[in-house]
Amino acid sequence: MRLLIIGTLNGHITEAARIAKAKGLSVSHVETIGPAISFLRQGGADVIFIDVTLDIWTFVKSIRDERINTPVIACGIGHETKLAVQAIRAGAQEYLPLPPDTDLIAAVLGSVSTNEAPLVYQDPVMAKVVKLAEQIASSDASVLITGESGTGKEVMAHFIHEKSKRSQSSFISVNCAAIPENLLESELFGHEKGAFTGALARRIGKFEEADGGTLLLDEITEMHPRLQAKLLRAIQEREIDRVGGTKPVRVNIRLLATSNRNMMQAVKEGTFREDLYFRLNVVAIEIPPLRERKNDLVILAKHFVKKYSEVNGLDSKELNQEACNKLLVQTWRGNVRELENVIHRAVLLCESNIIAGCDIHLPQFDVSADISPAHTQLSNPAVDKNVEGVGRTVAEVERDLIINTLTHCSGNRTHAATILGISIRTLRNKIRQYRDEGIKVPDGQLDQAS
Q: Are 233 and 359 contained in the same domain?
A: no
pLDDT-derived band at 111 (thresholds 50, 70, 90) equals low
Count of structural domains, the chain: 3
Over residues 37-67, the pLDDT tens digits come to: 989 888 778 889 998 889 999 999 888 888 8
Is 119 contained in some domain?
no
Q: Are 437 and 307 contained in the same domain?
A: yes
Residue 210 Cα distances to 49, 103, 110, 240, 265, angstroms: 23, 31, 23, 12, 30
Amino acid identity, residue 425? R
More confident residue, 377 or 8: 8
**Sheet order of strands, 214-218 included:** 171-175, 214-218, 254-259, 143-146, 283-286
More confident residue, 340 or 109: 340
Mean pLDDT on 165-177? 90
Please provide residue 209's backbone torsions phi and psi, each rounded to the nearest 5 degrees: -60, -40
CATH number of the domain residue 144 falls in:
3.40.50.300
Which of 112, 137, 163 is the last residue in one of the domains?
A: 112
pLDDT-derived band at 95 (thresholds 50, 70, 90) equals confident
Rg (CA), the chain: 23
Over residues 209-241, the pLDDT tens digits come to: 999 999 999 999 999 988 999 999 999 999 999
Give the single-character DSSP code of 203: B
Flag whether pLDDT at 8 surpasses 50: yes
Domain ranges, residue 345: 291-449
The pLDDT score that the predictor gives to residue 391 is 55
Q: Are 318 and 442 contained in the same domain?
A: yes
Q: Are 175 and 99 contained in the same domain?
A: no
In the chain, pLDDT over 90 holds for what percent of residues?
A: 40
Distance of CA 228 to the CA centre of its chain: 24
Q: Are 419 and 349 contained in the same domain?
A: yes
Q: Are 297 and 443 contained in the same domain?
A: yes
The lowest-confidence range among 119-133, 166-180, 393-407 is 393-407
CA distance 16 to 98: 8
Over residues 276-326, the pLDDT tens digits come to: 999 999 999 999 999 999 999 999 999 999 988 887 778 889 999 999 999
Q: Are 78 and 192 contained in the same domain?
A: no
CA distance 4 to 35: 11
CA distance 339 to 291: 11
Q: Are 273 and 189 contained in the same domain?
A: yes
Contacts for 358-364: CB closer than 8 Å, 24+ residues apart = 359/323, 360/323, 360/326, 360/327, 362/326, 362/330, 363/338
Query: 3-class DSSP state for residue 51?
Result: strand
Work out the mean pLDDT of the chain and round it to a whole number: 83
Which of 90, 112, 134 is the last residue in one of the domains?
A: 112
Q: Are 325 and 419 contained in the same domain?
A: yes
CATH number of the domain residue 433 falls in:
1.10.8.60
- Which has the closest alpha carbon to 419: 364, 317, 348, 366? 348
Q: Are 382 and 415 contained in the same domain?
A: yes
The pLDDT score that the predictor gives to residue 374 is 35
Q: Are 10 and 94 contained in the same domain?
A: yes
CA distance 160 to 164: 6
CA distance 114 to 379: 25
CA distance 191 to 341: 39
In contact, 250 and 267? CB cutoff 8 Å: no
More confident residue, 425 or 197: 197
Q: Are 85 and 140 contained in the same domain?
A: no
Is 118 contained in some domain?
no
Q: Which helix (H) or strand (E) holds 123?
A: none
Is 427 contained in some domain?
yes
Over residues 199-213, the pLDDT tens digits come to: 888 888 999 999 999
